[in-house]
Each structure stands twice: as C-alpha cells, then as structure tokens.
Structure 1
Amino acid sequence: MTEKERRTGRDESEEERADRMWGELLQEVRVAQMGVQILFGFLLTVVFTPKYGTLSDTDQTIYIVTVMLGATATGALIGPVSLHRLVSGRRIKPQAVEWASRLTFVGLILLLATTGSSLLLILRVATHDGYVPWLVTGVVVWYLLCWFALPLWTRRRHTE
C-alpha cells in the first residue's frame, strides 16, 4: 500500500476511484437539479401572469436576468448527465468526473445567483421597501457560508 492510499484510507485503482466519485457526484447533482428545475419552471410561468405587465422596467429586467440565470444553471447541472452519456465506454471516466465536477460547481454558483435574484424580485414586488437588498444580501451570504465557506473550512481543517 502506498503512502497516498494510507492517507485516504482507500485501496482503490484510479478507475475504481472514478466510479466511486461519479456515483457521489450523481447524488449531489440530483439534489441541485431538483431545486433548479422547480425554480426555473416557476420562473417560466411568471411572464404569463397578469401581474407581470404591471412590473416596473427594473423588475422586468431583474426577471429576465433571473430567467437567464435559471436557464444557464439548469444547463450546467444537467450537463454532467449528458457528458457521462456521450463519453460512456470511452475509458475516460476520470476526466469525465473532473469535467462533470466543474460543471456542477458552476451550476451551484449559477443556482445561487438564480435564487438570489428570484428572492430580490419577489421581495421587491411583495414589499417595495428599501430593506429588501439587505435581506437578499443576508440570504446570499448564508448560502455562501453553507455551500462554500463551511465545506472549504472543513476540507482545510481535516486534510493535509
């Protein structure tokens, strides 16, 4: 057993590791995909409601940006499935896992932006109060802490 295997606690080949990491990544993507697809589906219906015509130009711009963010987040989070399907059997799973992981990370950032801008639009329409940007900033900071800061802190604290 090599020193690296002893540190990771796993005795697996590169292909076995890629298989395991692919399975873990798919589980993670399923959770994020569900959230982005529900949010994006909701966003697509807003333009067909009577309220949409009464929105200010600013709110309509926020809506359009939000829909575009949702569309790009959906693409990034579904991308790993397509990637796997198109490269399956080509003996490049480690590289596929790496690219799928990158797409997932980009998808999470886009999902964060979509959620933040959705919240901004909804609270602007619901309250018209000046504190809305502060509320949205607080939620986005919370997401950043939960989705990125805590995992990075944990990785740094518990790995060499």
Structure 2
Amino acid sequence: MTEEAPLRGRDETRDERADRKWGELIQEVRVAQTGVQILFGFLLTVVFQPKYARLSDTDQLIYIVTVVLGACATGALIGPVSLHRLVSGRRVKPQAVKLAGALTFVGLVLLLITMASSLLLILRVATHDGYVPWLVGSVVCWYLVCWYGLPIWTRLRYTDPEDR
C-alpha cells in the first residue's frame, strides 16, 4: 500500500480558478471603489467653495495634484469592470484576471497617494503648523503597514516555500 500525498491548494481547473479569482477581485474592488468615489466626489466640490480662492498657490497646486490623482485612482479601480465587460465571453478570463489585478494594485497605490495628498492639504489649511508633514508621513506609514506590510509579511511567513 502506498501513502498518497496530501492534497494541496484547491482542486480546480484553470477556468474555475479564474472564475474564483475574478469574484474575489471584484469584491475587493467594490470596497476600494466606494472609498475613492466618495473622496473624489468631495474633492470635486472644494474648488466651488469661497475659501478656495484664498488658498495659497502651494495649496491650490496640492489641490490640483490631488484631484488628478483621485481621477487616476478612480479610473484604475473602475477599469476592471470595463475590462470584464469588454472581454466577457471571449475565453480570456485568466488573462483578464491578471490585468484587472494589476489595475487594482495601481489603483490602490494611487488611492494611497490621493489620501495622503488630501490629508496634507486639509491639515495645511486647518493648522498651518510645521508638524503637518510629519503627521501626514506617519499616516502614510500606517497605510503602508496596513495595505502592504502586513499582507507581504503574511505571504512570506505563511506561504509554503513550494508555492512562492
């Protein structure tokens, strides 16, 4: 009698894996899309406030950069939906999942930068104090730990070396 090797991972076909990964990706994107759309919508209203005209040139530049970053993040995070719609039924789901994952990653990076830039602008206007860059830097570090550090640590710590 021979001993069978334990099953590792999921017993699924390439297409089943792509379907599962697509479903997981879309759920992740929904969370990020909501955040970026709310932030972007808020940013679009700022220019129409009376106080905008009184902002310094530097603060107006930070605002413009922030709005452009928010627009780019929104595009990247909505991109997977459009991608899916345009390639649906073409038998390219594994490739679409890979591309949509890359768009989502780029969107999250842009969202992080947009949030940091928004925080910088808000705190500069609210306080005019020299500690603002340090505070924003601390928040960015926190985002980096939560969004990238912990996932990478988990991946390195718990992924079987054969699966890397």
TM-score (norm 2): 0.94
Aligned to 1:7: 8
What whole-Å deviation, never above 9, does each CA across 1:11-50 have from its counterpart, x for those lacking one?
1000000000000000000000000000000000000000
| Alpha-carbon distance between aligned partners in 1 of 2:80 and 2:134, rounded to the nearest angstrom | 34
Q: RMSD of aligned C-alpha atoms?
A: 1.0
CA distance in 2, matches of 1:7, 1:116: 41
Task: Name stretches of at least 5 consecutive residues in structure 1 with no aligned partner.
Answer: none
Alignment of 1:76-95 (within 5 A): 76-95=76-95
| Structure whose alpha-carbon radius of gyration is higher | 2
Distance between the aligned counterparts of 2:113 and 2:21, measured in 1?
26
| Distance across 2 between alignment mates of 1:152 and 1:6 | 25
Q: Equivalences for 1:126-145 in 2 at 5 Å?
A: 126-145=126-145
Q: Which residue of 1 aligns with 2:99?
A: 99
Deviations 1:90-110 (A, max 9, x none): 000000000000000000000
Alignment match, 2:42: 42
Task: Please tell me the residue identity of whatever aligns with 1:115.
Answer: M
Question: Does structure 1 residue 33 correspond to structure 2 residue 33?
Answer: yes
1:70 equivalent in structure 2: 70
Structure 2 regions of 5+ residues with no counterpart? none
1:7 Cα shift?
2.6
* Equivalent residue, structure 1, for 2:116: 116
Q: What is the identity percentage for the equivalent residue pairs of Structure 1 and Structure 2?
A: 78
CA distance in 2, matches of 1:41, 1:69: 13
SS, match of residue 90 in structure 2: coil
Q: Flag as ranges the 4+ runs of structure 1 deviating above 4 A.
A: none
C-alpha deviation, 1:124, in angstroms = 0.1
Deviation at 1:60, TM superposition (A): 0.1
Normalised to the residue count of structure 1, the TM-score between the two structures is: 0.96
